[in-house]
Every structure is written in C-alpha cells, then in structure tokens.
C-alpha cells in the first residue's frame, strides 16, 4: 500500500494523457528543475493549465545543463525537439544558429520591461531566440557569525582592500595544529562547479574577453584580475587553493562570491548577509539567467508554447519565482511589484540585490564561448596552483581561444571535398580485416584440433583454459544417462545412416542461433559504428548537414597538441589502473578462496564497491579526496603517513583539485572499485581441480610455488580475459572522470583522457566528425594493446 501512494498522481496523469490529449495541444517542456525548485514550477504549470483549457503542458525533467543540452542535440538530430526547452544562457547561441529554434515574439511593452542586458544576450540578427525565465546573479556572501567572532563590524566590506583586511581577521587556526581551519574568503561557492566566480572580476575590471569575434584575453585587464586572484592566497593569505568539502555550509568561510540561488538553502542554518561585489574599475554583477527556447514545430503548437512562455514570464508569475525561490527579478515591473517589495521587507538580506540590478552583465554570446570559457578556466587554475604566471596563463588562454575562433570561422566556409581519403581508409580497413581473418583461421583450426586430442590424453591439461573442470564429473553422472535413455528409441534407424563426422557441423540451421544477436548487433552497434566511420570523414556540427573532408579530421588529430596530451594521459591512466586492479582483484579472490572464518560475510562486504553507481560515488569520493579536511588526508594524518609526505617535501595533497594529482585521485577510486571485482577470478579459482593442489602439497610445494606453477598457468585464460575487459573498460572510462572533475575534465585538463576528449568534442564543441575520428583512433590503439596482451598471455599459456 505504501508504494501505491506516491504512484497515484502519476497513474492519474497517465489516464489524463490518454484521455484529454485528443483535442488539446500537448506542449512538451524539457527542464532541469529538480529538488525544491520543482514543486514551485509544478504549481505554476497546473495553474496555467486551468486558466488555459486548450493547452496541456508536459514538463519533463532531463538532468543538468550538460545533460539537457546533449539531449536537445540528440533530439534535433532525430528531428523531434520539444516545443519548449530550458537552456542555460551560454548554450542558447549555439542552438540559435541552427534553424531549429523558433524566435520568441514579445510585445514592445514587454521588451522594454525586461532589463536590457538580459534580453541583449539572446538577440541575434534582430530576433530574440530565448526568453529568460529565472535568473540569478553573483553577490558577496558574508557569514555574520564569523564576523562577530572575529570582532569585525556587522557590515560587508565595501572595497577589495577592506575585504582583504576583513579576510585576514577571519582566517584563523582554531584547533591549533598550525594549519588554518577558518578562512576569510572562498574563491568558489560550490565545489565541482566554481568556475564562474572570477568572471565577476573580469567584468568589474572591464576586461573585453571577446570583441567583434576576436579573443582579447592577454590584455592588462585580465592579467590584473588573475594576479589579484592569486594574491588573495599568496599575498593576503585569506584563502587556500582548496578548502575542505562543504566548507561554506559548515560555516568555515567568512566571505565568498556566490549565486543568489544558494541563499535559501544556506540561510537555513547559517546567519548570512548578502552584498554587492566590491567594484574594481566599475561595479559589475554577473547574471546568468536560465532561458526557455522554442523548438520549431507547427504554428498551433508554437503559438501555444509562446503563450505559456509569456504567461510564465509575466510579472505575476515571475514575482512568485523570485519570492519563493530567491531568483532575481528580470524586469522592472517585478522589481516594483508589491509582492516583491513585501518580500524584501520580510527578507532584508535580499535588499542589496536591488542595488546590483543596474549592473547586470552577461557572458558574451558566441557559439564557441564555451571553449573560450574553458581556456579562461584553465588560466585561472594555473594561476591558483602557481603553475604559471598570470601573464603566461593569459597568453596560453588567448592562443587557445584564437585557435577555437579560427577553427569556427574556417568551418563556416564550405570545404573542398576530398575523395582520395575514403579510398585509402576503405583499403586499409579491408586489408586489416583480411589479415586478421587469415591469422585467426589458422589459429582457431590448430586450437580446435589440440583441444580435441589433449582433452582426452591428459587430465587436467596444463595449458588449456579449464574454467570449471570440476563440473565435469557432475555432468557425466547426472545428465548423460537421463537424456541418452530418453533418446534411445528414436535413435536407432533414422539417425545412424546419415550420421558422419563431416555432417556434424551442418546438422542444424545455424541461423537460429546467430540471428537474434546478429540482427540486434547490426542495428544497434554495427550500424552506428559504420555511421561513425563515415562521420569521421566528415565535418559535422550536428545542426547542419555534414561536409565531407576526407582524412581531414585524422590529419588534424595528428597535429592537435590536446589530443596527444590526452593520449599520454590515457596511457598513464591505463598503466596505473589496469595492473593494480588486476592484482587487487586476484588478491582478494585468492584470500576469499582459502577456506576460513567468515568467508561469506567478507565476500558480501568486499563486493559492495561494485554495486554503487559511479554517479553516486562521485559525491562520496569528493568528501574523501577533497582538500585538507578530506577523509583520506585525515587518515594519512592519523597514521602519521602525512609526516612521510611532509618530509618528502610534498605536503598535504589535494587529490582532486591539484592538477598534479587529480588523475591519481581518480585512479584511487578505481583501485577501490577493483576490490569488489574479484568475482570472475573467484569463480575461476573455485573451478580449479583440487587434485593438483593436493599432489603439489604432497610433493612439498609451498604456497607461492603452488600459486606460481598451478594457479597462475591454469588461470591464464581467465586472466587474459579480465585484463582485456579491464583495459577496454579503462580506455572507455568516462563516468568517473566526468563526476569527479565536475564535468570539466580538469583541473587544467589533467583528467582529460581520450574518452573525455571525445565527449568534449562531440557534445561540448559539437564536432561530431572529429569525435568519431578520436573514437576510431582510440579503438585502433586498444586493438594494438589487446594484441600485445594476448601475445604476453599466450607466452604464459604455452611456456
């Protein structure tokens, strides 16, 4: 009964869908409002449906910004974007160019009512491509409790000098271990995604960043900000490159720049104040409104969607979003709305928001902005960790941005088609296939023959894969007699005459065995792979038709420094992960295979790392690996291992945010997961013939010798399989890197392996052709690696 209660509204909804959608206009709305935002939105939707009887809104949650934009991309490719889709402000322009969006029609009264900066960001070629629904701006948070404790006045700082001064008073070492545990200032408001804070300073310092389609990053305005950003730690000592997990929520930080949207959750247990960010050359406030775009459909649906959008952004509705969720008013009439003034009266902390409204800035709208932003983030990370001077970092970012812009312009121009590439590729593929087939035929023939003879001659065979030969006897007793008896009557005449060895292979239509899998395989793997192969010869940004460029993508790969860096990182990642994982899995399996106390319990306990999804683990591991107060560093401290590190001059390691160790941090989580990967080994060990061990023990073989000369050779085929599967898995590992790096592959691209680089190109930069080329190079590399592995293990199998 308990489980039916939450089901009921959804069942009702299903019924309604089936019933009411016949003549009503169904409008799908993809959004990313989860947690406590959603109930408010849901109420608004329900209200709209009652006031507009002819229109049904179907809101569908699609995940975070990244997921939503990936999904929209896929929907556009497939030709069925939803009527409404929520997008972050940075994404709109990429989609606006495609022709898949319908422009938003807004009355001139509405247009003047919105703050100009908010609408300008989404206007392109005189059309408005998205309507901002809710927005947040960055403000300065200050923790009043900490201010009181530090004896500071009960007001926020007005200038950056004052902020640094306050910060010095707030940075304290409370527990007296010689390391600060309260900080004056945090450079991030949220772990994993903290990248936007510094943009407030860029805008406040009038940094141009992107002007007239050209990057302007290596300018004094940017360099000054970077230097100041660095000085917060090096000179003023009021922050650290990484703070403990959830330092802000735990009340360890005095001041930080954060989005207004965080306020309700934080204010529930902290005494906080909000203030405008102190000015540099000017006062600026980064606003990131989330927008809704209209997918192109038919007129009736489009106008219904427009209707809903206009209704949702109308002052009466917008003010409720502001008062219930702490979003910013995006239009003048909301600011003056009596409900909002009443809200400000009851929530005095929000009052400073009024002051920042006039200084709204949005990030430049450009299709490759996300790449430029990545370059800027890398520069910031380099400066934070002292790996480059501000000038050099800005220089590097400028070059990266220029490359991205140049490539974008080049891709706008039509490319000459080159057919020679296709021929070369097809020829090479055919040759490789023929070579492989030839080799494989020889191999499999000889193996089959050997299989037949040696099985009979020697039991147990020394080199053959004997996965569970122990089951052999079970079979012979229980199964053979039963069916031979039942078959006996029909056996006599009809089968005997036709039976001969040459007929054996063809005695049943093979297609029944292979067909189900092959059909599915052709449709869902081979088809996409073939498409991918063709795609890798094209330039395709998903939104327009592909352009054939021959081997252009591959030759670009050869010249791409980011690709070779990612390749090196992948090899390091595989080299660190695979052998240790194998050793751990085998070790655990061996320990569990020995009879002893509580084996079943341990098996269950050790299996747990395997069952939690990678996504959920990201959160957990963040707590363990992150920063000075992470659990791992705490354990190191307790076990005195930290002293070793200190003595080696390494000091405390930030396992996820320090670019030098970030990849290793991810490797640690993989090792942990490997503890639970003992299953295949254990199953194989269980199948080992005990007679061999007995005779070896009788002959005086020690534990190591028995392992080396019995277990290891017998296990070789299984080991090879595990090694191969693990290598493939590790090569393709993406989820863990994505989660632990907050979807950036950072810091400083230090966790960007090939699979992440592939993702970045496909879904962040929309370079599907290039991504496909990366995929195929990855596959080729993997093939080589597997062949090498096979060679190694074949040597082991046949000494």
Give, as ranges, the residues between 536 and 565 that touch another protein (CB under 8 A): 542
Which residues 6+ apart lie within 8 Å of 383 measured at CB?
226, 227, 229, 230, 389, 390, 393
**Is residue 616 at the binding interface for another protein, with CB under 8 A as the rule?**
yes
Tell me the pairing of strands 25-31 and 547-548: unpaired
Residues 23-42 that bind another protein (CB under 8 A): 28, 30, 32-38
Which of 508, 561, 638, 647 lies at the binding interface for another protein (CB under 8 A)? 508
**Is residue 721 at the binding interface for another protein, with CB under 8 A as the rule?**
yes
Instruction: Tell me the closest approach of the beta carbon of residue 620 to another protein, in angstroms.
Output: 4
**Is residue 793 at the binding interface for another protein, with CB under 8 A as the rule?**
no
**Is residue 349 at the binding interface for another protein, with CB under 8 A as the rule?**
no
**Is residue 431 at the binding interface for another protein, with CB under 8 A as the rule?**
no
x/- site string to another protein, residues 74 to 113, per CB under 8 A? xx-xxxx-x-----x-------------------------
Contact window for another protein (CB under 8 A) among 196-204, 227-235, 366-374, 525-533: 525-533
Residues 462-501 that bind another protein (CB under 8 A): 464-468, 470-480, 483-484, 487-488, 490-491, 495, 499
Instruction: Decide whether 378 or 753 has the Cβ nearer to another protein.
Output: 753
Instruction: Tell me the closest approach of the beta carbon of residue 206 to another protein, in angstroms.
Output: 28
Which residues 6+ apart lie within 8 Å of 21 measured at CB?
56
Tell me the pairing of strands 547-548 and 538-539: antiparallel
**Is residue 12 at the binding interface for another protein, with CB under 8 A as the rule?**
no
x/- site string to another protein, residues 582 to 601, per CB under 8 A? ------x--xxxxxxxxxx-
**Is residue 324 at the binding interface for another protein, with CB under 8 A as the rule?**
no
Contact window for another protein (CB under 8 A) among 222-230, 387-395, 402-410, 458-466: 458-466
Which of 531, 575, 583, 795 lies at the binding interface for another protein (CB under 8 A)? 531
**Is residue 300 at the binding interface for another protein, with CB under 8 A as the rule?**
no
Please say whether the beta carbons of 255 and 167 come within 8 A.
yes
> Hey, which bits of 340-447 come out as E strands?
360-361
Which residues 6+ apart lie within 8 Å of 174 measured at CB?
181, 182
Please say whether the beta carbons of 282 and 204 come within 8 A.
yes
**Is residue 571 at the binding interface for another protein, with CB under 8 A as the rule?**
no
Which of 46, 424, 558, 619 lies at the binding interface for another protein (CB under 8 A)? 619
Which of the 8 DSSP states describes residue 85? E
Residues 179-208 that bind another protein (CB under 8 A): 190
**Is residue 528 at the binding interface for another protein, with CB under 8 A as the rule?**
yes
Residues 155-174 that bind another protein (CB under 8 A): none
Q: Helices 299-313 and 315-325: crossing angle, nearest 10°?
A: 60
Contact window for another protein (CB under 8 A) among 108-116, 158-166, 375-383, 672-680: 672-680
**Is residue 650 at the binding interface for another protein, with CB under 8 A as the rule?**
no
Please say whether the beta carbons of 193 and 272 come within 8 A.
no
Handedness of CA 172, 174, 177, 183 (dihedral sign): negative
Which of 300, 342, 426, 683 lies at the binding interface for another protein (CB under 8 A)? 683
Which of 368, 586, 771, 797 lies at the binding interface for another protein (CB under 8 A)? 771
- Which of 217, 242, 225 has the alpha carbon at shortest distance from 385? 242
**Is residue 13 at the binding interface for another protein, with CB under 8 A as the rule?**
yes
Residue 209 falls in which region: left (phi positive, over 0), alpha (psi -120 to 50) or beta:
left
Which residue pairs, CB below 8 angstroms and at least 24 apart, start in 419-425? 419/548, 419/550, 420/550, 421/537, 421/549, 421/550, 421/551, 421/552, 422/537, 422/548, 422/550, 424/551, 425/533, 425/537, 425/551
**Is residue 636 at the binding interface for another protein, with CB under 8 A as the rule?**
no
Which of 15, 424, 433, 641 lies at the binding interface for another protein (CB under 8 A)? 433
Q: How far, in Å, CA of 153 to CA of 446, rounded?
A: 86
| Lateral strand order in the sheet of 183-186 | 183-186, 253-259, 138-143, 272-275
Contact window for another protein (CB under 8 A) among 96-104, 405-413, 550-558, 670-678: 670-678
**Is residue 778 at the binding interface for another protein, with CB under 8 A as the rule?**
yes
Instruction: Tell me the closest approach of the beta carbon of residue 281 to another protein, in angstroms.
Output: 29
**Is residue 755 at the binding interface for another protein, with CB under 8 A as the rule?**
yes
Alpha helices (runs of H) in 639-767, residue ranges in sequence order: 641-647, 662-674, 679-686, 690-698, 703-706, 712-732, 735-740, 754-759
- Using DSSP's 3-state secondary structure scheme, residue 421 falls into helix
Instruction: Tell me the closest approach of the beta carbon of residue 292 to another protein, in angstroms.
Output: 14
**Is residue 518 at the binding interface for another protein, with CB under 8 A as the rule?**
yes
DSSP 70-135: HHHHHHHHHT---SEEEE-TTTHHHHHTTT-EEPPP--HHHHHHB-HHHHHTTEETTEE--EEEEB
Which of 641, 697, 788, 792 lies at the binding interface for another protein (CB under 8 A)? 697
């Amino acid at each position: 009964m308990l489980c039916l209660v939450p089901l009921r509204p959804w069942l009702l909804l299903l019924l309604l869908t089936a019933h009411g959608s016949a003549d009503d206009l169904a409008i799908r709305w993809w959004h990313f409002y989860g947690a406590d935002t959603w109930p408010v939105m849901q109420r608004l939707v329900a209200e709209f449906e009652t006031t507009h009887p002819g229109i049904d809104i179907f809101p569908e949650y699609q995940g975070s910004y990244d997921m939503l934009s990936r999904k929209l991309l896929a929907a556009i490719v497939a030709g069925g974007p939803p009527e409404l889709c929520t997008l972050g402000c940075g994404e709109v322009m990429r989609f606006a160019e495609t022709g898949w969006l319908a422009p938003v029609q807004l009355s001139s009264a509405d247009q003047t009512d919105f703050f100009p900066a908010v609408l300008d960001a989404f206007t392109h070629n005189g059309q408005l491509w998205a309507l901002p629904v809710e927005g947040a701006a960055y403000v300065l948070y200050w923790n009043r409790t900490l201010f009181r404790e530090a004896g500071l006045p009960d007001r926020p700082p007005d200038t950056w000098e004052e902020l640094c001064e306050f910060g010095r008073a707030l940075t304290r070492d409370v527990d007296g271990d010689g390391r600060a545990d309260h900080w004056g200032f945090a450079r991030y408001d949220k772990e994993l995604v903290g990248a936007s804070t510094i943009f407030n300073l860029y805008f406040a310092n009038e940094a141009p960043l992107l002007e007239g389609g050209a990057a302007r990053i290596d300018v004094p305005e940017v360099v000054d900000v970077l230097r100041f950003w660095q000085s917060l730690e090096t000179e003023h000592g009021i922050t650290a490159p990484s703070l403990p997990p959830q330092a802000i929520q735990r009340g360890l930080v005095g001041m930080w720049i954060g989005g207004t949207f965080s306020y309700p959750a934080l204010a529930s247990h902290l005494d906080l104040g909000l203030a405008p960010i102190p000015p540099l050359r000017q006062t600026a406030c980064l606003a990131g409104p989330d927008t809704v775009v209209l997918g192109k459909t038919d007129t009736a649906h489009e106008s219904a969607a427009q209707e809903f959008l206009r209704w949702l952004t109308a002052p009466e509705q917008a003010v409720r979003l502001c008062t219930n969720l702490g979003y910013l008013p995006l239009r003048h009439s909301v600011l003056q709305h009596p409900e909002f003034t009443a809200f400000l009266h009851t929530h005095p902390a929000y009052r400073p928001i009024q002051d920042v409204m006039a200084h709204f800035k949005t990030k430049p709208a450009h299709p490759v902005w996300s790449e430029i932003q990545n370059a800027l983030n890398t520069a910031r990370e380099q400066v934070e960790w002292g790996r480059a001077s501000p000038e050099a970092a800005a220089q590097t970012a400028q070059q990266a941005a220029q490359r991205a812009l140049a490539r974008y312009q080049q891709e706008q121009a039509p490319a000459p088609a080159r057919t020679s590439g296709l021929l070369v590729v097809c020829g090479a593929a055919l040759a490789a296939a023929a070579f492989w087939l030839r080799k494989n035929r020889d191999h499999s023939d000889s193996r089959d023959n050997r299989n037949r003879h040696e099985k009979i001659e020697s039991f147990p065979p020394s080199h053959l894969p004997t996965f569970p030969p122990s089951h052999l006897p079970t079979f012979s007793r229980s199964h053979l007699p039963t069916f031979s008896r039942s078959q006996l009557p029909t056996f006599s005449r009809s089968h005997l005459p036709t039976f001969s060895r040459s007929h054996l292979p063809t005695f049943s239509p093979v297609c029944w065995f292979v067909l189900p899998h092959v059909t599915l395989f052709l449709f869902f793997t081979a088809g996409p792979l073939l498409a991918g192969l063709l795609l890798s010869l094209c330039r395709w940004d998903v939104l327009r038709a592909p352009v054939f460029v021959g081997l252009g993508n591959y030759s670009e790969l050869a010249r791409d420094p980011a690709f070779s860096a990612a390749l090196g990182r992948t090899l390091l990642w595989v080299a660190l992960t695979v052998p240790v994982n194998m050793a751990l899995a085998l070790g655990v399996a061996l320990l569990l295979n020995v009879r002893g106390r509580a084996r079943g319990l341990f098996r269950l306990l050790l299996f747990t790392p395997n069952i939690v999804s990678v996504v959920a683990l990201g959160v957990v591991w963040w707590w363990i690996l992150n920063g000075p107060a992470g659990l791992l560093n705490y354990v190191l401290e307790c076990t005195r291992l930290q002293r070793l590190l200190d003595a080696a001059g390494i000091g405390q390691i930030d396992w996820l945010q320090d670019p030098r160790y970030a990849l290793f941090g991810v490797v640690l989580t993989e090792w942990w997961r490997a503890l639970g990967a003992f299953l295949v080994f254990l199953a194989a060990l269980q199948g080992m013939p005990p007679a061999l061990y007995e005779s070896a023990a009788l002959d005086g073989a020690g534990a190591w010798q028995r392992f080396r000369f019995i277990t290891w050779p017998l296990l070789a085929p299984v080991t090879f399989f595990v090694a191969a599967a693990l290598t493939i898995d590790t090569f393709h590992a993406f989820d863990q890197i994505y989660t632990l790096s907050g979807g950036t592959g950072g810091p400083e691209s230090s966790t960007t392996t090939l699979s992440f680089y592939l993702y970045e190109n496909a879904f962040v930069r929309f370079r599907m052709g290039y991504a496909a080329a990366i995929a195929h190079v990855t596959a080729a590399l993997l093939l080589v690696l597997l062949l090498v592995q096979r060679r190694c293990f074949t040597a082991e199998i046949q000494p």
